Amino acid sequence: MTIVSDTAVWITANFKETQLKDIKPGAEVEVDVDAYPDCKAKGVVESIGAATGSQFSLLPPDNASGNFTKVVQRIPVRIGVKTGCGVNWPLRPGMSVTAHVDTK
């Protein structure tokens, strides 16, 4: 059995490290939800992760052979949902979305 709280809904968006320059906590976000094409949810950037997801993995991808390949990493950004899609279109864990952050 899985228990999921519905009191605070958020999205974890994994942005490329090259996209983070102008993203700051408090920035407004518009979210397109793949499951609901007519829905435009609204949110706010709450925090930016302290490290890439690979650094927190059980087995980090450290290359010990001496070769180095530069790969753009992804940083988790937590987006608090302020306006969802309504009771008929609930946001559920694991859904795919596209986040558009207002960087102005």
Range of the domain at 37: 10-55+72-101
HEC letters along the chain = CCCCCCCCCEEEEEEEHHHCCCCCCCCEEEEEECCCCCCEEEEEEEEECCCCHHHHCCCCCCCCCCCCCCCCCEEEEEEEEEECCCCCCCCCCCCCEEEEECCC
Number of domains making up the chain: 1
Is 48 within a domain?
yes
User: Tell me: the pLDDT tens digits for 46-103?
Assistant: 999 888 767 777 776 666 666 667 778 889 999 999 998 888 898 888 899 999 999 8
CA proximity to 52, closest of 42, 44, 62: 62
Q: How many other CB atoms are there within 10 angstroms of residue 73's CB atom?
A: 15
Structure confidence at residue 91 (pLDDT) = 86
CATH number for the domain spanning 46: value is 2.40.30.170
Identify the band that residue 6 occupies on the pLDDT scale cut at 50, 70 and 90: low
